[in-house]
Structure 1
Amino acid sequence: MTDSPAAPRAPRGGKRERLAAAAADVFHRQGVERTTLGDIAAAAEVPLGNVYYYFKTKDQLVEAALGAHRDRFAAAAAELDRLPDPADRLKGLIEGWVGQRETAARYGCPFGTLAAELDKRDDGLDRSAAAVLQAVIDWTEAQFTALGRADARDLAIELVAAYQGMSVLTNALRDPEVMAGRGRRLTAWIDSLARPVDQN
C-alpha cells in the first residue's frame, strides 16, 4: 500500500535506512517469522554485524520496517500533493497501487501482508502497523474532503478497503489483471464522485 511509482525509494545512503528499507522488502516477500537478520543484511548489502549495531532484536527491525513503509507513503503523498486536483491525487494513488500489481500477485500488498502478520501478535507492533494504515486513510480522507464530500471518512475507508481486498484476490489468484480491472473501476468511481451534481 505504501509504494507508488510516484514515490522514490528511501535513499541508499545510511546503513540504518538501508537496513530498514531492506527489512520492509524482505518481510514482504518472506514474512517476519521466516526472515533472518542475515537475510536482511544480505538484502541491504551490509555485513551482518552492522545489523546488530543498529538493531538489537528482530522486533526493532520490524519497527524500522514500519517506519520505512510510513516514509514511503509520505514521499508518495507529497508527490501526489503536487497535483492541483484532489480527484487526480486519488487516481494517482490508485495508479500507484495498480503499478505494483505484479508484485501483489506474487506476494500480496507490501504493507497489508505485514499488518496481517503482526495482528497475530500481542507485543504492540500491531498498533504500530495500524498507525501507518491510519496515515493512509487520513490522507485519503483529506482528498475526499477537498472534493467537498461530507462523507469523506467513509469514502476513504471504502477506497483503502477496496485496495486491500483487490490485493488479497490478486495474490490468491496470482492474477495481476484482477488488480488492473479493479483499479479501472476505482478510477471510474473517483470520476463519478468528482463530477458536479446536476442542479436541475
Structure 2
Amino acid sequence: MTNSGNRRVRASQKRQRLTAAAARVLHEQGVERTTLADIAREADVPVGNVYYYFKTKDELVRAALSEHGAHLDAFTAELERLDDPHDRLKALIEAWIDQRDMAARYGCPTGTLAVELDKRADGILDAEVGVVIRRLLDWAGLQFRELDLPDPDDLALTLVSGYQGMSLLANALRDPGIMTREGARLLRWVDSLRPPAGNR
C-alpha cells in the first residue's frame, strides 16, 4: 500500500474511533455535558485532530446517531439468522434485558438522546434520532407481519414503547431489576401471540 493509502486508512480508523467514542460518551454524559475534549480523550486522539474530522459538536452527535443506526442494523441482521420471527423478537428482548445495568445507569442510548435533542430549538437532530427509532419499529413490524398477526405496526409500537418505558424507569430509579421484570413480561406477551400448534 502506498503512503497516501496508509494515510487514508489511518484517517478512516481515527474517524471511526471518534464516532464510536462520541456514541459512548454522549450516551453516558448527554449532549450538553460532553465536550469535544471528552470525546478526543475517549478515542485517544489529540483534541486538535477532532476538528479535522468534525467541525462542531452537532457533527459528532450526527456521527453518534449514525453509529447507533449501524449498530441496530448489524444487530437486526444477526437476528435475521433465526428462522422464526417469534425467536427473533424474543432474542431482541433478551438483548435488552442483558443491557439492564447500562440501562439503569444511563438509559437507552437512542431514547435518552431523543429526549435531550427534542429540547433544542433547531429541531434538526431530534428528527434524525426519530429515523433510528423508526428503523427499529419497522423491523419489529416486519416480524409481526411475518407472523400474519393483525395490526403489526401497532404491535411493534407496543413492543418498542415497552422497551423505552422500562429503560426510562430503570434509569430514573437506578434499578436494573425493572429491565429484568418488564423484559420477562414482554417475553410472555410475545409468547402469547404465538398461535396454538393446531392452528399453524
Per the TM superposition, whether the score is higher than 0.5 is yes
2:44 is aligned to 45
* SS, match of residue 193 in structure 2: helix
Hey, what does 1:125 align to over in structure 2?
A: 125
Separation (CA, whole Å) in 1 of partners of 2:102 and 2:30: 14
Correspondences of 1:89-100 after superposition (within 5 Å) = 89-100=88-99
The CA deviation at 1:195 is 2.8
1:143 is aligned to 2:143:
yes
Structure number with larger C-alpha Rg:
2
CA shift digits 1:5-29 (9 cap, x unpaired) = xxxxxxxx71111111111110111
Q: CA deviation at 1:122?
A: 2.9
Q: 2:195 & 2:101 partners in 1: Cα distance? A: 31
Identity %: 59
Report what 1:153 is aligned to. Answer: 153
CA shift, 1:48, in A, is: 1.1
User: Runs of 4+ in structure 1 displaced over 2 angstroms?
Assistant: 195-199
Post-superposition offset of 1:198: 6.7
Query: Aligned partner of 2:190: which letter?
Result: I
Task: For 1:30-179, list aligned pairs within 5 A.
Answer: 30-123=29-122, 124-179=124-179
Deviation digits for residues 6-57 of structure 1 (CA, Å, limit 9, x no counterpart): xxxxxxx711111111111101110000000010011111111221111000
Once residues 47 and 82 of structure 1 are traced to their aligned partners in structure 2, the CA distance between those partners, rounded to angstroms, is 40
User: 1:197 Cα shift?
Assistant: 7.9
Which letter maps to 1:160?
A: V
* SS of equivalent residue, structure 1 residue 98: helix
Q: Secondary structure at the match of 1:116?
A: helix
How many equivalent residue pairs? 187
More helix by share: 2
Deviation at 1:196, TM superposition (A): 3.0
Runs of at least 5 residues in structure 1 that lack an aligned partner in the other structure:
1-12
SS in 2 for 1:156: helix
Q: Which amino acid aligns with 2:70?
A: D
The one-character-per-residue Cα deviations of 1:58-92 (angstroms, maximum 9, x if unpaired) are 00000000000000000100000000000010011
One-letter amino acid matched to 2:188? A
TM-score normalized by structure 2? 0.90
TM-score by length of 1: 0.90
The Cα shift of 1:129 comes to: 0.5
For each residue in 1:129-150, what CA deviation from the matched residue of structure 2 results, as whole angstroms up to 9, or x when unmatched?
Answer: 1001000000000001011112
SS for the counterpart of 1:59 is: helix
* Counterpart residue identity of residue 91, structure 1: K
Structure possessing the higher relative contact order (Cα contacts under 8 Å, 6 or more residues apart): 1
